[in-house]
Amino acid sequence: MAEKTVIDVQHVCKTYFMEGGTSQSVLKDINFQIKSGEFVAIMGPSGSGKSTLMNILGCLDKPTSGKYILEGYDIASKDDKELAVIRGKTIGFVFQNFNLMMKRTIADNVSLPLIYQKVGETERYNRAVEMLKKVNLIGYQDRPPSQISGGMQQRVAIARALINNPAIIFADEPTGNLDSKTSDEIMELFTFLNKQGITIVLVTHEDDVADYATRMIKISDGHKVYDGLRKEYSKEKEIKC
Amino acid sequence: MLTAIIKEAWISIASYKLRTFLTMLGIMIGVAAVVMMVSAGQAVQNRITDTFASMGSNLILIGPAELVTGGVRGGRGLPSVTVADVAALKTLKDVETTSYLMNAAVQAVYGSRNYGVSVKGTNPDYLAVNNWEIEDGIMFTEKDVRAAKPYAVIGQTVVDELFGLQNPIGKTIRLKGKPFTVIGTLREKGDGLMGDDQDNIILMPSTTVRQRLAGSPRPQYTGMAFVKATSEDKMELVAKRVEYMLRTRHRLKDGVKNDFTVRLMTEMVEKVRSVGFVLSALLAAIASISLIVGSIGIMNMMLVSVTERTREIGTRKALGAPNSWIMMQFLAESVLISFIGSFVGMVFGIAFSQLGGHLFGYEVPISIWSVIVSVTVAVVVGIVSGLMPALKAMRLNPIDALRYQ
Ligand SMILES: Nc1ncnc2c1ncn2[C@@H]1O[C@H](COP(=O)(O)OP(=O)(O)OP(=O)(O)O)[C@@H](O)[C@H]1O
Ligand SMILES: [Mg+2]
């Protein structure tokens, strides 16, 4: 099946310039493509640059050099306003610590991205209820997130990521704050969504979590050291550099 | 879009009730203070205007020339306008009546009581010119003036001080040892501009004052003459005619200065009003210091709020919020706070100034100014104090904002 390429990373480097003139090179010449419908786990030791890569993929940051093409758009040429539109329409974010607004209702949280698409209040609410059904949280719309468990909160965050019907979901350690049982529930939800055609890219430390993915990209010290099927991965296949 | 922003802003500030209320309180106090000061200023100005109106506003006052020596004003010259001049001025077009005064301050005695009063020698038209009314009895006539009859028409203060509950009409009072018959009393007028008692007055024919009370060396001259125009818009014109006629009658050659002064009551009202306006503006300016403090309070709260909600801002941006939206939301929060604060402050300000007016016996107008000032202040303060925090929120880098713990 010839799926179209949704993510095209070419020679991407990222260097952080700190106050005082020092700089830190975090990503070094990263190259890969992701096709529509893939389920990719990005792995690597702490501090290797996974979050930095995710921020670039999620259009929250731009590479220092190299090219990033998302759904045919060259991200380097877009200004802040255009990037906001891309984030709002084609990308769904899931964060490690959920990032829900605790003083608002679950429905308000789920429908938040729709405000920026100028969707009316009633429609926002209805679509939030609809999305909550999809993540198995029927009836929770009018409660505040503080009344539900961490796993449920992450499902609310996933519903929020889904509400704009995004082509891709980026999740940076979505199970990092959850126990293994709830992690499995969340990963099953991601698998379910992936089967419906949504491209999923997630960062994780845990092998169990990565096992839900079909493809794995491993980063070490800013270099890509493995890129292939998750089930074929072994330590020996890593590229030495 | 705008309603969505305002709604989001409202929900945000409503979720920090105490903090929002305390911040609003600062603006409330500021606006209430400004409104009260503006109202107080207006009340005083209105009181001034009313007092002038009670003196007759179509009035033109003619007095002695001002002495100018070496460019410095130096008091008044000798009276130059005669009783005959005043009579002649009455024939001018658009003049309703004319009058004049000869003043004397003397001790009035009745029985065992005595009181210091201001005696004004004048003609019967003085009543019409100065908006006086007779309460009881009658006013003296032109005939009485020609005959220099010893008649007195007395003000209410004089009635109270000399006669108490007795009827003064027909009684004889003594001034400088000479007897005068009370033929009428004047209706009460109340305090004048400087808090002087306008009712402490005795009116007499000018001739009577001249012959019996004043030892004036130039008896045919008036201290002050009045010309009442038929209407306010005719005053300038009448003043010109008066000046022309007096110059002609006094045989002043071209280039020679007037030996009298002509002033319009309306001009004087205007002058006093403008002083009053400056005064109330000053009061409002002092009150607005509390407004500045209030707006600093808003800025402070919004800055704390932006820092506290850094992660919320990062999340919103990641989920597609444009920078402009973030800025507008925070701006809307501060404008809402100051708007509501100003509105409540305005209501309290009006209520308190009405109450104060009631207590001090002043008519306090509910001025459109209070509303204009409050609304302007609300928007300006909200924007000014909210702008810096809003820009700070807008400039937050989403990555840093999401990393922030
Ligand atoms: N905004 C930044 N400014 C400066 N340095 C940064 C910034 N973000 C990350 N870094 C540095 O870049 C390196 C990579 O960070 P990054 O967060 O991408 O690692 P990571 O692989 O996600 O690690 P972890 O598994 O702990 O989340 C780290 O050394 C970090 O200190
Ligand atoms: Mg990370």
B219 pLDDT higher than 70: no
Q: Which of B400, B403, B404 to mutate to test the pocket of ligand 1 (most atoms within 8 A of CB)?
A: B403
- Return the closest-CA partner of residue A54 out of A71, A41, A64: A41
Stretch B121-135: mean pLDDT: 86
Question: What are the φ and ψ backbone dihedral angles of B99, each rounded to 5 degrees?
Answer: -160, 175
Chain B, 290-319: which have a CB under 8 Å from a chain A CB?
Answer: 311-312, 314-319
Q: How would residue B232 be classed by pLDDT, with cut points 50, 70 and 90?
A: confident
B217 pLDDT higher than 60: no
Of A47-56, A158-167, B118-127, minimum mean pLDDT range: B118-127
Stretch A163-168: mean pLDDT: 94
Which candidate in B2, B319, B333, B405 is best for mutational testing of the A interface (most A CBs within 10 A)? B319
ipTM: 0.93
Q: Are B96 and B228 in contact (CB under 8 A)?
A: yes
Query: Count of CB atoms within 10 A of residue B41's CB?
Result: 21
Stretch B371-385: mean pLDDT: 84
Q: Which is more confident, A218 or B54?
A: A218
The DSSP call for residue B197 is B
Q: How would residue B141 be classed by pLDDT, with cut points 50, 70 and 90?
A: very high
The DSSP call for residue B221 is B
Stretch B247-275: mean pLDDT: 85
Cα–Cα distance between B43 and B50 in angstroms, integer?
10
Cα–Cα distance between A49 and A56 in angstroms, integer?
11
Q: How would residue A23 be classed by pLDDT, with cut points 50, 70 and 90?
A: very high
CATH number of the domain within which A208 lies: 3.40.50.300
Q: How would residue B75 be classed by pLDDT, with cut points 50, 70 and 90?
A: low
Q: What contacts B65, CB < 8 A, 6 or more positions away?
A: B76, B77, B80, B257, B258, B259, B260, B261
Cα–Cα distance between A176 and B223 in angstroms, integer?
100
3-state SS class at A148: coil
Q: To the nearest whole angstrom, how far is the Cα of A85 from the nearest Cα of chain B?
A: 6
Cα–Cα distance between A85 and B265 in angstroms, integer?
70
B327 pLDDT higher than 90: yes
Task: Please give the full DSSP string across A63-94, using - where no structure is assigned.
Answer: -SEEEEEETTEEGGG--HHHHHHHHHHHEEEE
B314 pLDDT higher than 90: yes
Give pLDDT tens digits for B29-38.
988 988 888 8
B77 pLDDT higher than 70: no
Query: Count of CB atoms within 10 A of residue B207's CB?
Result: 19
The nearest alpha carbon in chain B to A100 belongs to: B312
Q: What is the pLDDT of residue B190?
A: 77
Q: Which residues of A touch B (CB under 8 A)?
A: 55, 58, 60-61, 80-81, 84-85, 87-89, 93, 95, 99, 101, 103-104, 108, 112-113, 115-118, 121, 160, 164
Which candidate in A60, A102, A164 is best for mutational testing of the B interface (most B CBs within 10 A)? A60
Pick B322's closest partner by Cβ from A60, A84, A89. A84
Q: What contacts A102, CB < 8 A, 6 or more positions away?
A: A144, A145, A146
Inter-chain CB proximity A95 and B1 less than 8 Å: no
Q: Are B175 and B214 in contact (CB under 8 A)?
A: no
Tell me whether B8 touches chain A (CB under 8 Å).
yes
**pTM, rounded to two decimals:** 0.72
For A38, the domain range is: 5-237
Q: Which is more confident, A223 or B404?
A: A223
Q: How would residue B158 be classed by pLDDT, with cut points 50, 70 and 90?
A: very high
Cα–Cα distance between A80 and A19 in angstroms, integer?
23
Pocket of ligand 1 (CB under 6 A): A 16, 18, 24, 26, 44, 46-52; B 399
Gap from CA of A14 to ligand 2 centroid (Å):
15
B346 pLDDT higher than 70: yes
Q: What is the pLDDT of residue A64?
A: 94
Give pLDDT tens digits for A109-162.
999 999 999 999 999 999 999 999 999 999 999 999 999 999 999 999 999 999
For chains A and B, what is the number of CB pairs under 8 angstroms?
62
Q: What is the pLDDT of residue B283?
A: 83
Cα–Cα distance between B243 and A214 in angstroms, integer?
108
Cα–Cα distance between B254 and B239 in angstroms, integer?
18
User: Per the structure block, which two tokens stand in for B172?
Assistant: 């004889």
Cα–Cα distance between A187 and B155 in angstroms, integer?
101
Q: What is the pLDDT of residue B218?
A: 59
Q: What contacts B121, CB < 8 A, 6 or more positions away?
A: B101, B102, B103, B104, B204, B205, B206, B207, B208, B209, B210, B213, B214
Number of domains in chain A: 1
Give pLDDT tens digits for B178-215.
999 999 999 988 776 666 788 889 999 988 887 787 65
